[in-house]
Amino acid sequence: MTSIVWYPLTPGKDRNLVITNDEYKMRLVMTNDLIVKQTSLGPTYGGPIKKLRVVPSTDKEKTLLAFMTDNKVNLYTNIY
């Protein structure tokens, strides 16, 4: 595991975790029963993800997730 963040952070919704590893995988884990809801390939450029942050958005339909690798800083929108 290289990074972990609560996702989404909006009240009233289930709280999930996004977990990344050094194999460029991102996993969405449901915290109420610890089941992996989805696994997807993360960015494969710049190295594995080192840090994740949920970025507040003015649009309630969008969830922004900023990530940092050794060489890059980027932003995902609506990853799950």
Report if pTM > 0.85: no
Q: Where are the domains of the chain?
A: 3-77
Closest CA to 2 of 43, 36, 31: 43
| Cα-to-chain-centroid distance, residue 45 | 16
The predicted structure's pLDDT at residue 10? 58
| DSSP helix/strand/coil, 37 | strand
Q: What is the pLDDT of residues 38-62, one digit of tens each?
A: 999 888 888 899 999 988 778 777 7
Distance between the two ends of the chain, CA-based, in angstroms?
Answer: 19
Topology (CATH) of 3-77:
Thrombin, subunit H (2.40.10)
Give per-residue pLDDT as tens, 21-31: 999 999 999 88
